[in-house]
Amino acid sequence: MPDVLSQSEIDALLNAISSGEMDESLETAGSGLKIREYDFRTANRFHKEQIRTLRIIYDTFARLFATYLSGTLRVMCNVETVSVEELKYFEFVNALPSPVVLGVIHMPPMTGSLLVEMSPDLAYGIISRLLGGQADKEGFHRSFTEIEMVLLERITRQILPLFKESWEKVVTIDTTLDRIETSPQFAQIVASNETVAIITISVQLDDAEGMFTVCLPHMSFEPINAQMNTTMLYQSSFSSNRRSAYDDIHTRIQRTSLDLTAIFRETRMPVRDVLNLSVGDVIAMDHKLDMPVAVNVGHLPKFEAEIGVKDNRYAIKITDIIRKEDANDE
């Protein structure tokens, strides 16, 4: 690494600073460094935590989208999130193909609108499969007919619940489709120089392949900035799972059955008397009538109780709790 100073150069630099003199060789040592001017107007507005959170959200959406397409089109689908990047809105619009399918969607509590863009190859592949054809490798370059637009609008409406489900770990949203456009100039959701997050998702339908892109303006995130954090996402998910596990264990414990046994004091008899017992014999017990009986839960003594009768059945009435230390003392 040429930019790292050796120990002798560091010592010489310290000596030059302490003496007030600077060696010319040290002054020129850093002349090979490249300095790049920084324009604060182009600073990133989406910080890394927001980008990571969006990646997690749309990885979930990609899995749900693949399941939906496989069931709807009856074809194996491979959907994966390619990238999450920050661009200016005009850069995104200028890169759009023609013709294009743009869906303007509202997702409160986020403000404003967002765009979902379906590439022509993907749109024609979906239409072909819906109408009983095969998804071709090469798309067509023509305008969409009214029937095709109706089909694409229906597909877009049906995937809106997938957005809601993929966002639910971060924030509860409500999705509605405003309209479908085929020209970017009629889908101007923000100013041209506004910063947007572009989520690019690759979709492969049999032999056809296309892109599904989501455009999220930065200003839309203001109401949910606190939730756009992966740490908060994992903590909330962990807390939710832990609470669910706690409730499940609590319910199982509440429904667990235990054996309760009321035990009289022990009575001792010689072996010869036990051997001579027969039907009808009466055993005199050492347990007096005013003495409490011990109630065992399982094999452990837990309560003291009085003997009685309720509804023509023998019963016991709890009078005291046997503490662990009391049981040990006995």
Q: Which pLDDT score, from 0 to 100, does residue 327 have? A: 47
Whether residues 288 and 201 fall in one domain? no
User: 3-state SS of 261-292?
Assistant: EEECCCCCCCHHHHHCCCCCCCCCCCCCCCCC
Tell me: pLDDT of 63 over 80. Answer: yes
Tell me the two tokens of residue 125: 């592949």
**pLDDT at residue 11 greater than cutoff 80:** no
Looking at residue 4, its pLDDT comes to: 62
Q: pLDDT above 90 covers what percent of the chain?
A: 8
Residue 111 covered by a domain = yes
**Is the domain of 215 the same as that of 154?**
yes
Higher local confidence (pLDDT), 298 or 33: 298
324 confidence band (pLDDT: 50, 70, 90): low
Q: Has residue 193 got a pLDDT over 50?
A: yes
State pLDDT tens for residues 84-113.
888 888 888 888 877 888 999 998 888 888
User: Which sign, positive or negative, has the C-alpha torsion 14, 20, 24, 29?
Assistant: positive
Encode pLDDT of 172-190 as tens digits. Answer: 888 899 888 888 888 888 8
Same domain, 197 and 136: yes
Predicted confidence at residue 127, as pLDDT, reads: 87
> Does the pLDDT at position 32 exceed 60?
no
141 and 283 inside one domain: no
Whether 157 has a pLDDT exceeding 50, the answer reads yes
Q: How many folded domains does the chain comprise?
A: 2
Query: Given a cut of 50, is residue 26 above it in pLDDT?
Result: no
| Domain-located, residue 19 | no
Q: At residue 270, what are phi and psi to the nearest 5 degrees? A: -65, 155
Tell me which amino acid residue 234 is.
Answer: Y
pLDDT of the residue at 42: 52
pLDDT at 212: 92
pLDDT of residue 284: 82
Residue 267 lies in a domain: yes
Q: How far is CA 56 from the centre of its chain?
A: 8
Which residue, 237, 271, 290, sits at the end of a domain? 237
The answer to whether residues 79 and 202 touch, using CB atoms and an 8 Å cutoff, is yes
CATH of the domain at 322: 2.30.330.10
| Same domain, yes or no: 218 and 292 | no
CA 154 – CA 148 distance, rounded (Å): 10
- Expressed as residue numbers, the domain containing 61 is 42-237
Question: Are residues 182 and 298 located together in one domain of the fold?
Answer: no
Residues 264 and 230 in one domain: no
The answer to whether position 249 is within a domain reads no
Residues 58 and 183 reside in one and the same domain: yes
62 contacts: CB under 8 Å, gap ≥ 6: 79, 80, 81, 201
CATH number at residue 213: 3.40.1550.10
Examine residue 4 and state whether it is found in any structural domain, yes or no. no
Domain assignment present for residue 315? The answer is yes
Report, in angstroms and rounded to the nearest whole number, the Rg of the chain calculated over CA atoms.
38
| Same domain, yes or no: 212 and 87 | yes
Residues 223 and 163 placed together within one structural domain of the fold = yes
Question: Does any domain span residue 12?
Answer: no
Residues 6+ apart with CB under 8 A from 263: 293, 294, 295, 296, 301
Residue 27 lies in a domain: no
Residues 277 and 316 occupy one common structural domain: yes
